[in-house]
Structure 1
Amino acid sequence: MLTKEKEIKVHALISQARTLIDKHNAIQKSTGGLFNIFSILNMERFEVKTHSAFIYELLNPQGSHNQEKVFLKLFVEKVLKIKDLDYKNIIVEREKSIGKYGRLDFSIENDDILIIIELKIDAGDQDEQLKRYDNYAKTKGKKYKIFYLNLYGDEASEQSTGKGDSKVNYKIISFKRHILKWIEACIEKVALIPNIRESLNQYAILIRKITNGINGGIEMELKDLLLQGDNLEIADKLIQAVSLAKAEIEFKFWKEVHNTITSRMIELNFTDDEVSNDFNEEWLENIIIRRKKKSGEVELYYTYGKYLGKQLKFVIGKDGYDNNIYCSIALYDLKEDEWVKYKKDFKDLADTVEKLGFNKKGIFRYRHLNYDLNFNNKIYKLLDKEEFSKAVESISKEVLEIAEKVSKSDEFNKLVK
């Protein structure tokens, strides 16, 4: 428990930080710093249409920027940390099909080396994805490097890399650290070319937004504030409480959604998984762990009969990456206590579920809800009672519409026992 003196210092620190942030926001507002074309067009988190396309245009020596290999060289030096690369016969490709091995997000290749870059914003890892790329690279008969690019610098899953001695050797790069620094270096290079410079500035703003970053100016001012007196110690204690506070907000949200939809879900012949949906301390702790790691799901579960001896689960959840909450239809094996992949034997179920609007994602079939609720950077909105109620109402309505469609599907119900 904080002493009275410490409590006064905490309030003073928060007040000073609030003043700096308000000043920064006022400057952003007056200078148009909040204007971002990617956000306006709702293209913030599209891997292929936004990030892959924009990055490739910069890396491509024949790109419309007309800067030849300037951006590519900065990328190799500042992001990949590769020295002495021969650019003479360099080939940069995007979404390259490699047959049975899959499709490469990016490849940079010359006579001596193949560089493979896998880009992740919201999508999960595919089965043996990096392992397949590794096997493909070995067929090229030259040196190769594999990079795993994601928002924060998280590791790839064992599902993608394999285990033990067979695990793929790869390097991690992130938008938050590497790509942002590269874009800032590119901005310096084209400081006198307005169109390119401002496009890069817009993308830098986008990266900071989706990685919960802040403008460099306010960041330095806040740093200087923390270095005064014992402010850093006080801030450290505040940080420890932040994850618990955020988790508490999300905990209340899921509990309220569960309370709102369950009676109707039962009417639609779904069974509430009361053990899984038990809102206790363990549930709260699970949220803290998941959000801290930025991986793993927080989910509500309902059962809808069985298919070939496996339980059919209707899941409402949110993992560490996806921008929106999703619903999914998954198979669960009670005997083995594990989720079951949609195998070839389950093709009739997979086809039926996909007809109901669910997409493929690993072992699940899922669909995102339209209401945008990212618990990483939009959870503050839920502190407002009206925003909280609006979010619960909107999410619940969408979930029940999907559940009703599933429940009333004759084709789906023919498969269920």
Structure 2
Amino acid sequence: MTDENLGLLLERFREFTIDIEARKKRGQNDFNPLLCVQKLDDEANMHSGFLYALLNPCGEHYQDDLFLKLFLKSIGLKEWFGDTNNAEVYKEYKNIDIYITNNNKHIIIENKIWARDQGTQIARYIEAIAEVDSSDERESSVEYENIAVVYLAPYIKNPTQQSLGKWKIQGEFLVDNENNKVRFKAISYDNEMIDWLEYALNEAGGISNLRMAIECYTDVVKRLTGKKDNTMDLQAFFNKKGNERFLEIALELVARRDEVLHAHFSAIAREIESKYKKDYEINDLGNGKGITLLHSKFDEIKNFCFYIAAEITDKEKISLNIYLCNSKSNTEQRKSIIKKIKEVLDVNDEAFNPYRFQYNKYDLTLKEFKEIDLKDFTQERFINFFESVRKQTDEFNQKIADDLAKGQDSKLRKFLTDEDD
């Protein structure tokens, strides 16, 4: 990797990001209103919810059984199911994600995004529809042959044997030890669902709000299955003619990730040093893990004061926070220390980050705690964070220093070790 090639890569990528911003302003962006209110992989609310809304003949789309018929055609059950004029569709019926019936035929849809199968889950759903009462060993009131199980996942896969219980997959059927048969279909968002949505969009005609809803959900499904044609991501950058040769450089940078992050934090440190000279002591956490900053005038109490920090977390995120350094104290002392800190600072619990305050036994973190994606972490973002909390942090540390200087009258000195003095 030569400096010339690296420089060219950075220049091309700068041009690419400028182009992206321009297109965003023209409305060419990846905005999807559904993703503003639900998560991409939310099985119950996003996916089962939309599936139910469109399949339900009594739904507010006012298209009767149109979308239900298109769905049954897409999954190959239209002829088997028969009449849909009086069909009913339910969501969360007896814990079944989607249940479709015309009082003669019955379809169980188990919707699995990334969740694991539960023990005998599908077996229980079959028995719930068949209405088998094991206590008196009576036969089912619904014939097994009139039941179909549809297993829906992002990509084609079968349910686990644990979920099937006594049933086993044999071609297009589930068969038990007594040779009872239930129809079975494994379908996917990647295939049948996208086909169905395309059919539905064609039939929506000029109904603008309905078309928009189907288009938005189609976009969600394509994102879920990796079929989204995104012209604003890194793949688009490297696919662009002439940029393919930069992929090797990018991969080398990924392999040397810790070095890149270390350089990033070093650049931040240099910016702080240039602006504040030697006012702040900057500690490199090593291996690109982050940095901490402390005003030099608090050097004598560095083992008992608040640090401003940028730290890489285990979730490929970075936390910007102000935490109390007092790692030498044991957990038994923690309650007492927190109580005295609040007294010295003259603050209540609202001054601290509630999540860290409740769960972290070693760091007391101020409420200004932020966690951002690593890709969004820039020198400017940290400098802005540093500037916004610097004054308050120094004021808190000064109060701690003033208390420790009181000797026997100090509320905090008894928690220091000999090494801290």
Q: TM-score range by the shorter chain?
A: 0.3 to 0.5
Compare relative contact order (CA 8 Å, sep 6+) and give the higher one, 1 or 2: 1
- After TM superposition, the score normalised by the length of structure 1 is 0.47
- After TM superposition, the score normalised by the length of structure 2 is 0.46
